[in-house]
Amino acid sequence: MVECTKKIAKLDLESFVEERNLLSVGYKNVIGACRASWKGDYFRYLAKFKTEQDRKDVADQSLKGYQAASNTASTNLSPTYPIRLVLALNFFIFYYEILNSPER
């Protein structure tokens, strides 16, 4: 959707409300996955420095962020999209380092 909207924007036509809404929706889907991934990363970094119960709470928030990002990415991005690949890598690192479960 983003690529099609870019082509429309390059036509040098007067911008209408509908085209701007399409552009907004196209980028919202891409940015939504990225932003949710950053939220997971942020809480993963915090979990490295927390102890016991605080670490568990922060790890839960990180897991929720990564799950939201993964859901958004799997529905809106192709499997080879760079943001989706980075998300998968960071989600694996979270499971390996924070939850100590590399089998996931």
Q: What's the CATH code of the domain at 34?
A: 1.20.190.20
Measured from the Cβ of residue 8, the count of other Cβ atoms closer than 10 Å reads 13
Domain count, the chain: 1
Q: Assess if residue 37 is contained within a domain.
A: yes
69, 87 contact by CB (below 8 A): yes
Give residues with Cβ within 8 angstroms of 50, minimum separation 6: 57, 58
Backbone angles phi, psi at 65, to 5 degrees: -65, -45
Q: Assess if residue 84 is contained within a domain.
A: yes
Q: Assess if residue 104 is contained within a domain.
A: no
Residues 30-84: tens digit of each pLDDT: 788 888 888 899 999 999 999 888 999 999 999 999 999 999 889 888 899 888 9
Q: Assess if residue 103 is contained within a domain.
A: no
- 3-state SS assignment for residue 80: coil
Examine the pLDDT at 1 and tell me if it is beyond 80. Answer: no
Measured from the Cβ of residue 44, the count of other Cβ atoms closer than 10 Å reads 23
Q: Assess if residue 6 is contained within a domain.
A: yes
Domain, as residue range, for 36: 2-98
pTM: 0.72
DSSP3 helix / strand / coil % (the chain, rounded to 5): 80, 0, 20
